[in-house]
Structure 1
Amino acid sequence: MGLRKRLPAVILLAAPALVILLIAASILYGAKNITMDTVWDSIFAFDPEEIDHQIIISSRLPRVVGAMLIGAFLAVSGALMQGMTRNYLASPSIMGVTDGSVFAVTLFMILIPNAGSEMYIISSMVGSAIGAAIVFGLAWLIPGGLSPVRLAILGTVIGTFLSGVAEALAAYFQISQSISFWYNARLHAMDPSLIKLSIPFALAGLALALILSRSVTLLSLGEEAAKGLGVRTSLIKGLTMLAVVILTGVSVALAGKIAFVGLIIPHIARFLSGSDYRWIVPVSGVLGGLFLALCDILARFVNAPFETPVGVITALIGVPFFLYLIKTRGGAQRA
């Protein structure tokens, strides 16, 4: 077996060590540096009166765990979308899925301001479905609308529209301060209880993604080829979008809009893993989690002692990558 074929397995085997390393780095470094001894004591001898212990347990640990989960969810969503549509520009942030989530969360906060936290997750998933349905529905109606560049433009336009309407509603109903969390991706404000509530939904979405990965591989060969191999394409596409909606909805509910993770990471995972989505999906999840956690750490040092929004870091990487894809691959669907 060649090195290239072993690489996905190596990445997955190395993942636990890399996760522990990044969790340690994220906890230790920030506006206030913390020693390893303090971290150890906060975990095994927690003292609620100790400020550093409170920072670690209630802020930095949920923050890095949330960043890794969100990065994994967005990367897996992007991988599924790219494989299903054979569109190398497909991702939740570009196709209006995340903006649909923010729009729905805004409406939810206006209509049911005192509902439980689990409703944020549900409303966010509903919004993901609405955003995806509008973008892909319009793409079917427009000649050539499913080509990568046109679909990306359509997704950007619809996403901007939904985001603009959400901001206007937030301003009109005077909830702009409350809703700002979902616009700015503030990982430092991660809610540990919301992470716990999201786990069942996230596990369902990830399990569905892994189950569908073989069928997505066949879809990536083309719809006619997939049908010839016995794939029920309409069913698989519907279930794939369900997984995307769940994972993206959970991500937005946890930390708001974070762009480009779902675009960049699947391409890297595909380069490292080949064309089999049974490898691409889990490798995307691992790399996505590590990538966003690393971006979050970098965001603390760009303008220290002030924190830069993590979305700025992902955009600095993602925008050039997006332009590179358009320049090198043009407007044709992936072969």
Structure 2
Amino acid sequence: MVWPVTAVRAEATERTPRHGYALRRAGGLLLAAAALAVMALLSLAVGAKSIGFGAVFDALAHHGGGPDDVVVRSLRLPRTLLGICVGAALGLAGVLMQGLTRNPLADPGLLGINSGAAAAIVAGIGFFGLGSPGQYVWFSLAGAAVTAVVVYFVGSGGRAGATPVRLVLAGTAVAAALTAFVQTMLLLSPQVFDQYRFWQLGSLAGRDLGVLGRLLPFLAAGAVLALALARPLNAIVLGDDAGRALGVHLGRTRALGALAITLLCGAATAAAGPLVFIGLAMPYIARALVGPDHRWLLPYSAVLSPVLLLAADVLGRIVAPPGELQVGLVVAFLGAPVFIGLVLRKKAAA
């Protein structure tokens, strides 16, 4: 009867490091969630008119109709909630994009999703007279969906099927054609240019809870689908042969991944415009913290990405008072050094 006791002790010894590692990851995720809560509170308090934290909590708990209550509940609360949802969507889409293409420097725009959403919005402005973010939603989602289908159809042709390289090449080609269409529309119509240029900068301001309500079902569906693909993505990053050996259906996983990217990027782009670097930088940072396991990488990216987006939004409110910088500009300024650092690090590693 000695052997079973020895086996149990060996198994317990083997599981202890893994259990401790999982606890550290869970603790890190809680810290990231706490950082997101702090940044959300700052987003509610900081702006052209600074509001104390006590007044913020009072406005959220008791709607008294005072000036601070109106600012917090009508202006900053929708902006903050939208920033959390959009940031999480872009972070999840970035992880999916990097996992599907096995390229840690890939971002959601690599499949042409953002270009498809932009082209649809430009067409809506030019041909149907769209004029508000709430009206952009359906056109953006439709453009993103159609683009994803076209890219997947083009990239999956031939015997090799939908390989990462073929999908990237197809996405690049389709994005180039859509960008040419957008530029043509902007040159032909000054009215389209005037409306599109504000949306193109990327902003969380001027959106109400109605916009978030329209987007939330698509964001939730995309997030659930992305989290469900964690285990198949862990197998795919090992290579197609290893993925097949582990029982993963490569075509189905890539199709579902493209669908999740479409839902997440289409809804986020419709709400806030084409925000760059979030889907690239934050998954990379999350990977440095927790490693390549998508079961942890996806939740970390979903929590850390809104921290960056809200931080950029708050920074944009205070750097140029009494006005503010669009969050898309601030994210670009913050993301450019990060991207250069990633490129230099990859070059040094090579």
Query: Considering the TM-score relative to the shorter chain, is it more than 0.5?
Result: yes
The answer to whether the 8 A contact 2:32-2:300 is kept is no
1:107 corresponds in structure 2 to 123
Partner secondary structure for residue 187 of structure 1: coil
Alpha-carbon distance in structure 1 between the residues aligned to 2:154 and 2:345: 26
Q: Could you report, residue by residue, the CA deviation over 1:130-175 in whole angstroms, capped at 9, with x for unpaired residues?
A: 445666777789xxx9669x959974x8646534532542564523
Q: Could you report, residue by residue, the CA deviation over 1:238-281 in whole angstroms, capped at 9, with x for unpaired residues?
A: 00010000000010111111001000011111111112111111
Partner secondary structure for residue 108 of structure 2: coil
Alpha-carbon distance in structure 1 between the residues aligned to 2:94 and 2:114: 12
Gaps spanning 5+ residues in structure 2: where? 1-16, 158-162
Within a 5 Å distance, the mapping from 1:183-198 to structure 2 comes to 183-198=200-215
Aligned with 1:224 (options 235, 241, 259): 241
User: For residue 326 of structure 1, what is the amino acid of its counterpart?
Assistant: V
Aligned with 1:180 (options 174, 180, 197): 197
Q: Could you report, residue by residue, the CA deviation over 1:174-207 in whole angstroms, capped at 9, with x for unpaired residues?
A: 2333333420112112231010111111111011
1:237 corresponds in structure 2 to 254
Pairing 1:56–2:79 present: no
Q: Post-superposition shift, 1:284? A: 0.6
Distance 1:158 1:306, change over 3 A: farther
Which stretch shows the higher mean deviation, 15-24 or 100-109?
15-24
User: For residue 267 of structure 2, what is the amino acid of its counterpart?
Assistant: V
Partner secondary structure for residue 175 of structure 1: helix
Alpha-carbon distance in structure 1 between the residues aligned to 2:319 and 2:111: 29
The answer to whether the 8 A contact 1:62-1:192 is kept is yes
User: For residue 72 of structure 1, what is the amino acid of its counterpart?
Assistant: A
The answer to whether the 8 A contact 1:191-1:254 is kept is no
Alpha-carbon distance in structure 1 between the residues aligned to 2:341 and 2:319: 24
Pairing 1:75–2:83 present: no
Distance 1:35 1:90, change over 3 A: same
1:286 corresponds in structure 2 to 303
Distance 1:130 1:324, change over 3 A: farther
Alpha-carbon distance in structure 2 between the residues aligned to 1:323 and 1:151: 21
TM-score (norm. length: structure 1): 0.85
The answer to whether the 8 A contact 2:33-2:303 is kept is no
2:51 corresponds in structure 1 to 34
The answer to whether the 8 A contact 2:93-2:279 is kept is yes
1:20 corresponds in structure 2 to 37
Distance 1:242 1:56, change over 3 A: same
Alpha-carbon distance in structure 2 between the residues aligned to 1:152 and 1:326: 20
User: For residue 93 of structure 1, what is the amino acid of its counterpart?
Assistant: G
1:299 corresponds in structure 2 to 316
Q: Could you report, residue by residue, the CA deviation over 1:63-97 in whole angstroms, capped at 9, with x for unpaired residues?
A: 11111111110010010010111012211235432
TM-score (norm. length: structure 2): 0.82
1:323 corresponds in structure 2 to 340
1:162 corresponds in structure 2 to 178
Distance 1:203 1:316, change over 3 A: same
Pairing 1:310–2:327 present: yes
Distance 1:102 1:76, change over 3 A: same
Pairing 1:208–2:225 present: yes
User: For residue 300 of structure 1, what is the amino acid of its counterpart?
Assistant: R
Distance 1:321 1:27, change over 3 A: same
Gaps spanning 5+ residues in structure 1: where? none
2:11 corresponds in structure 1 to none
Alpha-carbon distance in structure 2 between the residues aligned to 1:321 and 1:131: 29
Q: Could you report, residue by residue, the CA deviation over 1:282-330 in whole angstroms, capped at 9, with x for unpaired residues?
A: 1110011111111111222333333122222222232233333334335
Distance 1:299 1:7, change over 3 A: farther
The answer to whether the 8 A contact 1:135-1:154 is kept is yes
More helix by share: 2
Partner secondary structure for residue 292 of structure 2: coil
Q: Post-superposition shift, 1:36? A: 2.7
Q: Post-superposition shift, 1:12? A: 2.5
Q: How many residues align?
A: 327
